[in-house]
Structure 1
Amino acid sequence: MAKTKQLNIRVTPEEQQAIKTKAAEYPSITALILDAIQDFDTQKGRNAIDRMIEFAQAAQKFEVAQTRIGTNVNQIAHALNLYQYNHVSLVDIKTVEVAIVECNKLNKEIIKSLRRIIDLTS
């Protein structure tokens, strides 16, 4: 396709020099611009403020999620603390209770054995 359109842009002297420096690696300034357009990524070219806004929104969502997790951890800690009495865990009390039941069984067996011995000696 024939190139029939012309593009005129205004730039500062510094920008003009930067374009010429970059264009030194190309056959022409036109080739530089066309290559830049072809490789242009709209994601990279977005406004920095847009990226900052998106980051702030993501950070806010993260903060909300983190707060929810913290609330859940506090609820779990509170529930665990409910299973304590005078700094003794009810789980520990349950273990002691099982041990007492076992001791009572052993005591009954000992008493039965003692009664047999007493009956034998009387």
Structure 2
Amino acid sequence: MIAYLSLLLRLAIWFLLTADFSLANITIGFCVALLLPPRFAPPPVLKEWLRTLWEIIVAIPIAYWEALEMIFRPHTREEIALEQVKPNRTPGLIFLDIFSITFTPKTIVLKYHQDGWYEVHRVRRTKRR
């Protein structure tokens, strides 16, 4: 089951890069996804994949809300923070974590440290006194 999720993730990345859904591109993308070497990492649990996909779905309305909030109430304070990666994350799940953090307008991942940290840039409102 996890191999299918990995294949689907590779195909999704292919379609995001090419933005072409012709039959030839689908065939090429499928071949590329199959030919890419597998990652030698512990297999992720299906529960973790579903939890991460749910976080991405929840991030969509949050992204709209944050965009409207930034339009009507200016955010002038910036900070860079380190966030720890959840334990036992495979490269595919780390990619989805970075995607869900970067998807919202107020945050972006600047760097992924191999020792298990994300460097996250945040924009916040200035507190009124």
Which structure features the higher share of strand residues?
A: 2
Which structure features the higher share of helix residues?
A: 1
TM-score, normalized by the shorter chain, greater than 0.5: no
TM-score (normalizing by structure 1): 0.22
Pick 1 or 2: higher relative contact order, CA cutoff 8 A, min separation 6.
Answer: 2
